[in-house]
Amino acid sequence: MGYGCYLEAFVQIGGLMRAVVTSLALIVAFAATFLFPLSSFADDGALTSQLENLRAKYTLPSLAAAVTKGGRIVAKGVTGKRMLGGDTETKIDDRFHLGSDTKAMTATIAAMMVEDGKLSWTSTIGDVLGADMPGLTPAFSKITLEQLLSHSSGIPTDDEEMIKLYFSDKSYDYSLHDYRRRIIAEWGSKNAPKIPEGSPFQYANFGYVIAGAMIEEVSGEAWESLITTRIFEPLGLTTAGLGPQATFGRYDAAIGHRIHDDGKIIPMPWGPAADVPAVMGPAGNAHMSISDFAIWADWNAGVGRRGPALVKPETVERLHTAIVTTPEIKNPKPGTPKTGQYALGWGLAKMDWTSRPVLTHNGSNSLNLATILVDSDHDIGIVVTTNFPGEKADAAVREMVEWLYRRYGPNGQTPIQ
């Protein structure tokens, strides 16, 4: 998948886009040594200037970006306000929502379970969850972990039934762990996977919900606990968390915004409408600062070899290796490819401005937008975030990623000090 599996597919790769249910509109302690201390980051005035140019051009509240190379953040910046029309400036340590960029983290946790011998890439839904879900259709039961994580299982992009399950009032009657299993059992007992002609790829948030439940079953721990103790804490991601990025009752982050059909823009700081339902967490509800997001990008750019040893480098390579080719997109946006591939939590595509395919993913909960690009051949990571959704955000983020790669990539002219 390209830089978001080409940008029309921002509703797919990175497609944790909230559906408007009524219309069924599917928008389908290591850190100190891991990266240079804050005082050593390059102060790239050009980066901040470009951020502000794009933020103003596309009338976004905030725009942030960071670049890593060889184990350190070489440039980062943020511009704008925490809320559109507000007075409080966005700060460099403010949290942004990552949306479906969380998927690569879920895939990495699954890889930990594989290395621990608790799962295999060929473990099926039936193998892991079937004992408590005897009514699953046979074809659904046979779906493997690898198929779930590569969107090649035949499970469709969020359909009407899935959306009703995500947003159901019944979720208030169960623990998050139990409700995740209940919606899997309910959907899986009535439906079978359907592989489309041409390419088996169908971007499926539900597949990651299932993978999360499989991880919980074999580990005996909640996915929410695992991402905290096995990803956030070892990497020193001190700003990382789950759900809406602002502390309840405080405007202490880059606040997400909803664009209504009539064009009205509403800041959404807290509450259930400020993020996707928590049951969808494994598909995309992490948040963190641009600096912490860059640490995650850099760990992947180094293929895990710099540590911390979340998983073995060869396992990281497995996560980064393409599994499925994506369908061709007609008339892609400038600079983005017609087709690409998907690995395990990552898309791959060659852009007009890269010499070969790079890892990439976009994420949105329909209130925010984030993108990540990893060029492990050149040990480069790029992350860009905004607290705004939609086409303007798409364009700004796409242009910023290209600008950063051209400036800091293998053929860039900016010296790395």
Q: Tell me the pTM.
A: 0.90
Overall average pLDDT of the 155-172 stretch? 96
> Order of strands across the sheet with 347-349?
72-80, 62-69, 380-386, 369-375, 358-363, 347-349, 341-342, 324-325
Of 411, 405, 268, 408, nearest to 349 by C-alpha is 405
34 has pLDDT over 70: no
Q: What is the pLDDT of residue 332?
A: 74
**Per-residue pLDDT at 14:** 42
pLDDT score recorded for residue 339: 81
CA pair distance 146, 211, nearest whole angstrom = 9
Would you state the pLDDT for residue 328? 84
Q: What pLDDT digit, counting tens, does each position of 196-242 carry?
A: 988 999 999 999 999 999 999 999 999 999 999 999 999 999 999 99
Q: Which of 42-46, 183-187, 380-384 has the lowest mean pLDDT?
A: 42-46
Q: Go through the domains of the chain in sequence order and give each one's CATH number.
A: 7-408 (3.40.710.10)
Strands 95-99 and 286-289, bridge-based pairing = antiparallel
Average pLDDT, the chain: 90
DSSP state of 61: S
Name 220's Cβ contacts closer than 8 Å, sequence gap at least 6: none
DSSP letter at 232?
Answer: I
Beta bridge partners of 325: 341
Taking residues 388-410, report their average pLDDT: 97
Quick one: pLDDT at residue 10?
31
pLDDT, tens digit (0-9, with 9 covering 90-100), for 256-303:
999 999 999 999 999 999 999 999 999 999 999 999 999 999 999 999
Please give the sequence-ordered ranges of beta strands (E in DSSP) within 51-109, or none if there are none. Answer: 62-69, 72-80, 95-99
Q: Average pLDDT, stretch 133-138?
A: 97
**What is d(CA 200, CA 178) in angstroms, rounded to the nearest whole number?**
30
| Pair 243, 285: CB distance under 8 Å | yes
pLDDT band at 356 (very low <50, low <70, confident <90, very high): very high
